[in-house]
Chain A
Amino acid sequence: MEIKRMRGFLRSRFRGSKLTVFSLLAALFIIVPLIIIILEFFRPATEVWDHFVSSLLTGYLKNSLVLIAGAAAGTFIMGTGTAWMVSMYEFPGRKFLSWALVMPIAIPAYINGYTWAGMLDYTSPLYTFLRERFSFDTGAYLFIDLLSLEGAIVIFSLSLYPYVYLVSRAFFMNQSAVMMETAASMGRSPLQSFFLVALPMARPAIVAGITLVLMEVLNDYGLVRYFGVETFTTGIFSAWFAFGDQGTALRLAGWLLVVVLLIILAEKVQRGKARFDTLGGSFRPLRRRGQKRIMAVVTSVAVSIPFLLGFMLPFLMLAWWTVQTASVVVDLSFIRLTANSFLLGASASVTGMAAAVVILFSLRVNRSRFMFLLSKLSTMGYALPGAVVAIGILIPLLMADSLLRPILGWLPMDTGRIMISSSVFALLYAYLVRFLAVGYNNLEAGYEGISMSIDESAASMGSSNRRTFRELHLPLLKVSLLGGGLLIFVDVLKELPLTLILRPFNFDTLAIRAFEYASDERVAQSAPAALIVILTGMVPAFLMNRLLTKKIL
């Protein structure tokens, strides 16, 4: 009774408060790009669009679907396979690999792609070595033609399998242990149990991991561009820049969005059906099996492959290239570039976490259905590919610029050339839209650890909301805030297509510089910038496997 009254009191006090208005605004801002894209479909199509439909769209669709299917299969096999071996068997290096298998997540797919292309280039050290030492004919037979749809699938799989690995490992190691033991007691071998019990049970989690992989694949621009695979993102760039047709670019973005939404929907449907019992009781880790020595070595080698190919080799290659080119590439402008990237990442994570705090806190004091909807809407950005977010933001900002123009002209200062659309603001806005969900999920997990009764008892002692937040929530959420901020920071550092479209005048980031060098056939020079991006990305992977799991689940 007392509690109910208290809740009612809290509710009435804060309905329509500043906080709610604030998060309403945040949510509105965030769904602007969506609205822009949807509106485009009510406008007449242009000639360019007709051309795209008649000669390009099916190609985009086909390529995207093949990429999706290939990457899903590749990450599934690598992710669940390695997770299974690591949780089920004992073999040399298991402990190290169990952790190291996550590392490829630190290398953005496009960097992995052009690094591998550089390694397998005809004039690469590898082929030169083979030709010189063994007088191999490294011609048509040995030459691996990576720059293709198949090559892109391989690179996507190698870079993104950790998403699947993380969820499957978590599942195999803890949740399914008792089931595996039961299956064993009924005479099933580990392999049988894997296919009959572990996989079907882990399905919802694995599919969620694969869904994330697919989002990343559809978001990618750098890798497909470099590998010459035409997809929706390259189409958006081509429509926007080569044909100079915004409408077509928006329509393509709309189509891409449909594909993304279908994937999300499919994931929801499969998860919805699986109303599986949650296992109560203690989660006991599985006893790992010993193996005969030869088998153990074979397992070690097999499980190392994704790590070696997805992380170690490209990393070493980039390190070597960095050693070779650093003296030329690293100059004052490179340092400014790095500062730009870091400052941008830091600002984006601060704004992102601030917005997440506002929305989550207002959701807490006002648990209405409306607020809930609002919070869901504002975290949708992560599903929107970067290119889609960029044009969805650029167009309204350009409109805003032309509206603001007379006002700016009146001001006494030299503001004549200031434009929102080509400012850091636009970039930060876009990052907010795209990465809010990353911070939000982290913070939400943090908030779940703070019981509502803490707020209520604080309120009963006369604490204002502000004070409750500052003195209770903030200290308790410190870790979640830092973790979420770090993830946003790393994501911003890696981000390519969005930054490419929205960066302000005279403003480059590490990711852009790396990609430009690589596109100019100067992969070696791209290495220092790429390496900084990777090393930063290693921090969350390094420090907290746990944090990444949170981002995924």
Chain B
Amino acid sequence: MQTFLFITLTAFMVLFTSCTEQEVVNVYSSRHYDVDTRLLDKFSEKTGIRVNTVKADSDQLITRLENEGDRSPADVLITADGTRLVIAKQRGLLQRMDPDIAGSVVPLQWRDSDMYWTGLTKRVRFLVYHPGRVDAVDLADYESLTSEKWNGRLLVRSSNSHYNQTLLTSVIVALGEQGALEWAEGIVRNMAREPAGNDRDQVKFIAAGLGDVAIVNSYYMGLLHNSQNSEERNVAGQMEVFFPNQDGRGAHVNISGAGLAAYAPNRENGQRLIEFLLSMEAQEQIANENFEYPVLPGAGLPDMLMKWGPFREDTVSLDSLGQYSGQAMMTFNRAGWR
């Protein structure tokens, strides 16, 4: 009996002792890209601050922050979806950061007006199609995807995806709740298959001939084009991209961003990290390696994004989108969008 207890206690000790050190910054991140690892390493190298990262789904991170309350070890919350930052702010999980960190560099549209959070990168939810089967002339906007013509040809991932949820909130803002429900139902009607897999899979489904058009986040196309797997590059090469709603409100743009945790034990380090991520160097690295659009005006773009060219962005503020996030989920469920 005593031996058991002894072993257990020792195990506890060993397990607990990993969190005591001086200069650290604790990051809760739902971004899971290789470029992040490289950037954070670079940050540690430059500042000597060690970065502890907890990676999880952003909803899980938010729930965790909420549960931990003022005892949370988190300093910085990074999400891959803007709406989550709005929710985090609403729930009092974030705190105001120094305005000069982002206020001066990030356009107001891509940050919180009170500086509770800031965007780091932008991603467009655009359309990918197979030029052999689809004429670009037929593609117009998100709304036109519900027309009969696309019956059985549309590919889009599940409603669990935050990207889809935020896209739907933008549709709710544009068309109203009823309009959005009808839109979602129209999309479900036209789906080539039950939603499965992630954005890259949708593109592959087109290549496999399951459908013709997919709703995809822009950077996934970049990643596919630059994949180590030649077959993936081959798939990407067959496709064309289309920016929808260029004649109207503009293509839906989401951000990936960061906020300072409300009870950050290492507030200063957290701010330094966000500052670093907004530096020209970091911004260009993210753009070059992960094909996201930088939020910093004037940051250089990789060839691929240059080739896609400039486009009109939906200018609705994320703040206004955030308030519809609950409705978005319910609308999806009602529409039967899996």
A interface residue numbers (CB < 8 A to B): 51, 55-56, 117, 121-124, 127-128, 137-140, 143, 145, 147-148, 227-228, 230, 234, 238, 240-244, 340, 343-344, 346-347, 350-351, 353-354, 394, 398, 401, 416-419, 421-425, 500-501, 505-508, 516, 520-521
Specify which chain A residues have a CB less than 8 angstroms from the CB of B205 in the assembled complex: 122
Specify which chain A residues have a CB less than 8 angstroms from the CB of B18 in the assembled complex: 506
Given the known interface contacts A148-B194, A244-B63, A343-B14, the answer about A350 and B8 at a Cβ–Cβ threshold of 8 Å is yes
Specify which chain A residues have a CB less than 8 angstroms from the CB of B19 in the assembled complex: 505-506
| Bound CA–CA A122/B231 (angstroms) | 9
User: Distance in Å from the Cβ of A111 to the closest Cβ of chain B?
Assistant: 17
The listed residue with most B CB atoms (<10 A of its CB), out of A128, A138, A140, A242, is A242
The listed residue with most B CB atoms (<10 A of its CB), out of A122, A351, A507, is A122
User: Distance in Å from the Cβ of A85 to the closest Cβ of chain B?
Assistant: 35
B54:A505 contact, CB within 8 angstroms: yes
Q: Does B195 contact A (CB under 8 A)?
A: yes
Specify which chain A residues have a CB less than 8 angstroms from the CB of B158 in the assembled complex: 228
Pick the contact of B209 from A128, A143, A505, A521 — CB < 8 Å? A143
| Bound CA–CA A354/B8 (angstroms) | 10
User: Distance in Å from the Cβ of B157 to the closest Cβ of chain A?
Assistant: 8
User: Distance in Å from the Cβ of A395 to the closest Cβ of chain B?
Assistant: 10
| Bound CA–CA A501/B56 (angstroms) | 10
| Bound CA–CA A47/B296 (angstroms) | 41
B231:A417 contact, CB within 8 angstroms: no
| Bound CA–CA A127/B265 (angstroms) | 51
A425:B209 contact, CB within 8 angstroms: no
Specify which chain B residues have a CB less than 8 angstroms from the CB of A242 in the assembled complex: 59, 160, 329
Q: Mark B1-14, 1 if CB is under 8 A from A, else 0.
A: 10011011001101
Q: Does B68 contact A (CB under 8 A)?
A: yes
Q: Does B96 contact A (CB under 8 A)?
A: no
B32:A422 contact, CB within 8 angstroms: no
User: Distance in Å from the Cβ of A155 to the closest Cβ of chain B?
Assistant: 13
Pick the contact of A417 from B4, B52, B265 — CB < 8 Å? B265
A143:B4 contact, CB within 8 angstroms: no
Q: Does B47 contact A (CB under 8 A)?
A: no
Nearest 7 interchain pairs by C-beta: A139-B209, A147-B196, A241-B59, A228-B196, A123-B231, A122-B204, A347-B11
B208:A138 contact, CB within 8 angstroms: yes
| Bound CA–CA A51/B331 (angstroms) | 10
Specify which chain B residues have a CB less than 8 angstroms from the CB of A145 in the assembled complex: 193, 196, 210
Q: Mark B173-198, 1 if CB is under 8 A from A, else 0.
A: 00000000000000000000111111
Specify which chain B residues have a CB less than 8 angstroms from the CB of A238 in the assembled complex: 160
Specify which chain B residues have a CB less than 8 angstroms from the CB of A418 in the assembled complex: 71
A122:B63 contact, CB within 8 angstroms: no
Chain B, interface size: which category? 35 or more
B interface residue numbers (CB < 8 A to A): 1, 4-5, 7-8, 11-12, 14-16, 18-19, 26, 32, 52-57, 59-60, 62-64, 66-68, 71-74, 91, 158, 160, 193-198, 200-201, 204-205, 207-210, 229, 231-232, 234-235, 265, 326, 329-330, 333-334, 338
| Bound CA–CA A240/B60 (angstroms) | 8
| Bound CA–CA A424/B74 (angstroms) | 17
A417:B71 contact, CB within 8 angstroms: yes
Specify which chain A residues have a CB less than 8 angstroms from the CB of B26 in the assembled complex: 505-506
B235:A122 contact, CB within 8 angstroms: yes
| Bound CA–CA A418/B210 (angstroms) | 52
User: Distance in Å from the Cβ of A221 to the closest Cβ of chain B?
Assistant: 12
Given the known interface contacts A51-B330, A122-B207, A418-B71, the answer about A347 and B8 at a Cβ–Cβ threshold of 8 Å is yes
User: Distance in Å from the Cβ of B52 to the closest Cβ of chain A?
Assistant: 5
| Bound CA–CA A117/B54 (angstroms) | 27
User: Distance in Å from the Cβ of B248 to the closest Cβ of chain A?
Assistant: 29
Specify which chain B residues have a CB less than 8 angstroms from the CB of A394 in the assembled complex: 67
| Bound CA–CA A145/B202 (angstroms) | 12
Pick the contact of A143 from B160, B194, B208 — CB < 8 Å? B208
Given contacts A421-B67, A424-B16, A506-B19, 18 further A-B contacts (CB under 8 A): A122-B208, A123-B229, A147-B197, A227-B196, A228-B196, A244-B62, A343-B11, A346-B7, A347-B15, A350-B7, A350-B8, A351-B8, A398-B67, A422-B68, A424-B15, A506-B52, A507-B15, A508-B55
> Which residue on chain B has the smallest CB distance to residue A131?
B231
| Bound CA–CA A306/B203 (angstroms) | 32
A56:B67 contact, CB within 8 angstroms: no
Specify which chain A residues have a CB less than 8 angstroms from the CB of B160 in the assembled complex: 234, 238, 242
Given the known interface contacts A138-B208, A242-B59, the answer about A346 and B333 at a Cβ–Cβ threshold of 8 Å is no
Specify which chain A residues have a CB less than 8 angstroms from the CB of B338 in the assembled complex: 228, 230
| Bound CA–CA A121/B19 (angstroms) | 40
Pick the contact of B208 from A139, A241, A425, A520 — CB < 8 Å? A139
Given the known interface contacts A242-B329, A516-B55, the answer about A350 and B4 at a Cβ–Cβ threshold of 8 Å is yes
A55:B62 contact, CB within 8 angstroms: no
For this complex, 14 residue pairs linking A to B, each with C-beta atoms less than 8 Å apart, are: A121-B201, A122-B207, A122-B235, A123-B207, A140-B209, A140-B210, A238-B160, A244-B62, A350-B4, A350-B8, A351-B4, A423-B16, A424-B16, A500-B60
> Which residue on chain B has the smallest CB distance to residue A358?
B1
Specify which chain B residues have a CB less than 8 angstroms from the CB of A244 in the assembled complex: 59, 62-63, 66, 91
| Bound CA–CA A69/B67 (angstroms) | 38
The listed residue with most A CB atoms (<10 A of its CB), out of B1, B71, B73, B200, is B71
B195:A228 contact, CB within 8 angstroms: yes
The listed residue with most B CB atoms (<10 A of its CB), out of A51, A121, A230, is A121
| Bound CA–CA A228/B202 (angstroms) | 13
B197:A243 contact, CB within 8 angstroms: no
| Bound CA–CA A122/B235 (angstroms) | 9
> Which residue on chain A has the smallest CB distance to residue B224?
A123
Given the known interface contacts A55-B334, A143-B210, A148-B196, the answer about A354 and B57 at a Cβ–Cβ threshold of 8 Å is no
Specify which chain A residues have a CB less than 8 angstroms from the CB of B11 in the assembled complex: 343, 346-347, 350
Pick the contact of A422 from B7, B64, B333 — CB < 8 Å? B64
> Which residue on chain B has the smallest CB distance to residue A339?
B14
A123:B54 contact, CB within 8 angstroms: no
| Bound CA–CA A294/B257 (angstroms) | 65
| Bound CA–CA A55/B331 (angstroms) | 10
> Which residue on chain B has the smallest CB distance to residue A145?
B193
B63:A228 contact, CB within 8 angstroms: no
